[in-house]
Copies of this chain bind each other. A is one copy, B any other.
């Protein structure tokens, strides 16, 4: 059974929304392989996504869980599904070059008569080209349609219970940043700092335990920070270098990412100028992020603030967040960027990411927020300014 945060009522609502979207897309049976979607739909939790597994949603009747024999007890422990609706493929098929678990899936679908109108998540980490080929050979290309993002879009507007969980994740994120600010000092090897910050996120706060985030700390310093996804190494923190930490607390798989930048010594004027542009961008964006405004309108607050400071930002500046599994805590639906005319609605949640990367340094100060009638409301309370420590 899932945790108490996921009520039977919420379960029914999520299933109904998904079935509505299936109808709109002409999908009779949806094969969900994204672990975030599987968990959102049924509660299923476990580090088992490195082998094929799915939640199968027919238009009528109970959804099924399908996965490895070893993981079936986990499905029984964590989902709303009845034990009769859990199906397992034989252990002998694990990572075997001569047979594949999806052969077993094809048999299961055939036995149920679900051989046409199948929706599959074609652009997902956990539905491989090989899996798709097996289903194509079993049922024909016409039987399959691309349902990438179908469930993800249903996740966009959070329920109040989900917002509450994201705020708890935000308390964990704020706690991690507090530990980071306190520990950050000249000469401390980066990995020791990372160990402390990560432990703070998991040991959490009284009554508030942390889960593993979908992305490990991204924490580059100095020129390393010109690359936006360098994790960490054992180099000591050095005077004259900017470091940024992109981290997230995680509460029952819900995230609240936030980046802060830190500097040892006296920050040069170009970094201070970038900081001002970023802080203004955040304030302008939060003020603008009301229901009815489009993603690109919100994003323009960031691009405009950067342009005024003489910077060009070439990448998107935010994406939706919520429940997630590695390797990404984004929901992969809309983006805060030019051309995205998706209309914001109340209780959508975003990670606003006004980062700047130059060849010599990178600066990232970011906020996770929820869309409310008066604008974007931060989901965590963390001082935004560049953290400056004397050398």
Contact = CB atoms under 8 A, between A and B. Distances in A.
Given A125-B125, A126-B125, A203-B192, A316 B227 contact: no
Given A47-B327, A194-B202, A335-B96, A209 B189 contact: yes
A148 B98 CA distance: 12
Copies in the assembly, this chain: 2
Interface string A281-321: 00000000000000000000000000000000011100100
B77 A230 contact: yes
Nearest to A358: B73
B128 A128 contact: yes
Contact of A202 (B46, B122, B198, B203): B198
Interface stretch (A58-66, A129-137, A266-274, A375-383): A129-137
A212 B253 CA distance: 19
Interface in A184-212: 189, 191-192, 194-196, 198-200, 202-204, 209-212
Contacts of A92: 337, 339
A187 B195 CA distance: 24
A69 interface: yes
Interface in A80-103: 91-92, 94-97, 100
A130 B126 contact: no
A226 B124 CA distance: 29
A159 interface: no
A34 to B, nearest CB: 11
A28 to B, nearest CB: 19
B122 A128 contact: yes
A330 B96 CA distance: 13
A130 B125 CA distance: 10
Interface residues of A, number: 82
Interface in A44-78: 45-50, 69-74, 76-78
A295 to B, nearest CB: 12
A146 B230 CA distance: 30
User: Which of A130, A199, A226, A229 has the most chain B CB atoms closer than 10 A to its own CB?
Assistant: A229
A108 interface: no
Nearest to A319: B95
A260 B251 CA distance: 27
A191 B209 contact: yes
B191 A203 contact: yes
A228 B70 contact: yes
Contact of A91 (B50, B100, B189, B315): B315
Nearest to A218: B47
A337 B71 CA distance: 19
Contacts of A196: 199, 203
Contacts of A130: 122-123, 146, 148
Contacts of A72: 227
A326 interface: yes
A100 B122 CA distance: 12
Contacts of A48: 228-229
Contacts of A335: 94-96
User: Which of A72, A120, A332 has the most chain B CB atoms closer than 10 A to its own CB?
Assistant: A332
Contacts of A230: 45-46, 74, 77-78
